[in-house]
Each structure stands twice: as C-alpha cells, then as structure tokens.
Amino acid sequence: MSNDSFTATLGGITITTGNSTGNGTGPDIHLDSNFAYLMFALIIAMIWVLYIVYYNSRVVGYIITRLLTRFYVKKGYLSIGSFTVCAVSGKIMFRDIVYITDDYTVRIQDGWVIFRWWRAYVPKDVSEDLSHSDTRLSVMLNGYELHVYNRCNVYSRLEKVFGLDPVIIPPNEMEPEDKSADKGEPPSLGKSWRDLIPVIKVDVSSGRVVFGNRLVPTTLSINVEEAHLILIFFLSSGKSWRDLIPVIKVDVSSGRVVFGTHNIVY
C-alpha cells in the first residue's frame, strides 16, 4: 500500500504528515529560529506589559520609601504603597502613604498632585497681591487622616524652662536650633518661590483630623466628607519673602466636629 505525505510551511513552522501501512506516524513539526525569536519577543512583551500595569508603581514606591528613609526621614516610620509620575501632564499619583512619628500620624489612602509646568513664569514683586493668580499646583487627597497625640518638643521646652532633667527627648537626640537671622532683604523680583506657586488648591475627600490620645480626658475629632482649600501667601509687615504668612480659605461640606470624653482608670 502506498505512503502519502503532506508538507506545509507557515510562518516559520514546517509541518510534515505521513501515513504508512501498519505503522501510522503523526505530523512532524519543525520550528526555525525566526519563529522562536518571535515567540520569545511576545512572551517578553507580555511580561513587560503586566509589570508596567500592575507592579511598576509599587516598585517605584518602595524605592522612594527606601531613599527617603535613608537620607531624609531620620525618625519615625514612612511607607509609600505606590508612586507614579506622568511628565506630560505634570501629574504625580500615589497610594497608601503612612508617616508615623512620636507626635502625630499621617495616612493618605490615595491622591494626586498636578503641577502645570506649561504656564508661563512671570516674576513679580514680593509685596504684590497674587491671590487672583492662576493655580499652578493642585492637590487631591482621598482618605486623609491626621492624628496628633503628643507634643514632645513642647514638653522638652517645659523641662528646660523648669530646670528638669531631659526625659522626653534625650540630649543626644535633640535637633540643633536654627539661629539664622533674617537680614531684611528688600523686595526683589524672582527670588521667592511664591512667584512660581502663588496659589495652591487642595481638595480633600473623606478627611479626618484627631487631637488627643487615650491618656487625656477629652479628644477632638473633625470629620469632613468633602473639603476645598485654597492656600495663599501674603506679605506681613516686613519686606522680605521670609515675612510671608499663609492664609487658608476652606469650604467644607458635610462636616462634623466631635468633642468626646473617655474614662481613664488610674
């Protein structure tokens, strides 16, 4: 009985089929190098897309956390869950930020910062009112929490005033005081960062601020569902940019203030 065979080549794959009497053989498939390179490139592309979509922001957040902890945050605990930067739109997105110190704790579920770099920079005089300028920096915070439960620096100064031994902050951990004096520089053009960011707009969704701890008889809690803040810097009686004072305009909707008490057992 005669043997019939069929050979076909498609995209670098050669398939050969043959039939024989008493001993049937299946298709014989051969792959050349071009098809192997194509499959390898597709696998690498799939892995890269999965990394960019799901893991890149988390890896960047971990690296930034380690760098800030190493060079900037000397005390306390800092954690950034994810961090993403988009240079074209000037947008920075972050998630799961936690900063814990001996005095307060800050938690942010997620948020973003937009810096409108495409707007022209116009240097202005320090004494000029910039409250009606365009907003260059906008901040949005979702799930913002601030809990102030201690005042170590105040307690340390009270120990120094009353001549007590430093217990709250050991002497080797005290930060040096800033003794730089204001030289009273005259108003000048372009020397203040206020020219670059004259107005800062902050939007807060589901915010909470708490003052107190379990060792004090009362605790103040401020809860807001939505808040809009506008931060503007005005010049005080001085003539230097060091004399700028911040003014915050707040518009709160669905806010609640609770002044609670809790029992303390000694």
Provide the 3-class DSSP secondary structure of residue 154: helix
DSSP 75-125: SSEEEEEEEEEETTTTEEEEEEEEEE-SSEEEEEEEEEEEE-TTSPP----
Residues 6+ apart with CB under 8 A from 116: 90, 134, 135, 136, 137, 138
Q: Are residues 124 and 14 in the same domain?
A: no
pLDDT value, residue 172: 57
Q: Evaluate whether residue 58 is within a structural domain.
A: no
- What tokens were used for 105? 């704790």
Mean pLDDT of 85-94: 91
Count of C-beta atoms within a 10 Å radius of residue 13: 12
Of 112, 104, 103, residue with least CA distance to 141: 112
- Owning domain of residue 123: 103-175+183-261
Q: Evaluate whether residue 67 is within a structural domain.
A: no
Check residue 158 and give left, alpha or beta (phi > 0: left; psi -120 to 50: alpha). alpha
pLDDT value, residue 265: 44
Q: Evaluate whether residue 57 is within a structural domain.
A: no
Is the pLDDT at 246 greater than 80? The verdict is no
pTM metric for this prediction: 0.71
Q: Are residues 24 and 108 in the same domain?
A: no
pLDDT value, residue 202: 93
pLDDT value, residue 38: 84
Is the pLDDT at 10 greater than 60? The verdict is no
Q: Evaluate whether residue 85 is within a structural domain.
A: no
Q: Evaluate whether residue 215 is within a structural domain.
A: yes
Query: Per mean pLDDT, which of 6-10, 179-183, 195-199, 239-243 is the most reliable?
Result: 195-199
Q: Evaluate whether residue 53 is within a structural domain.
A: no
Residue-wise pLDDT tens digits, 134-188: 788 999 999 999 999 988 888 888 878 877 777 666 665 666 555 444 444 444 4
Mean pLDDT of 67-86: 91
For residue 193, the number of C-alpha atoms closer than 13 Å in the C-beta half-sphere is 3
Mean pLDDT of 203-226: 89
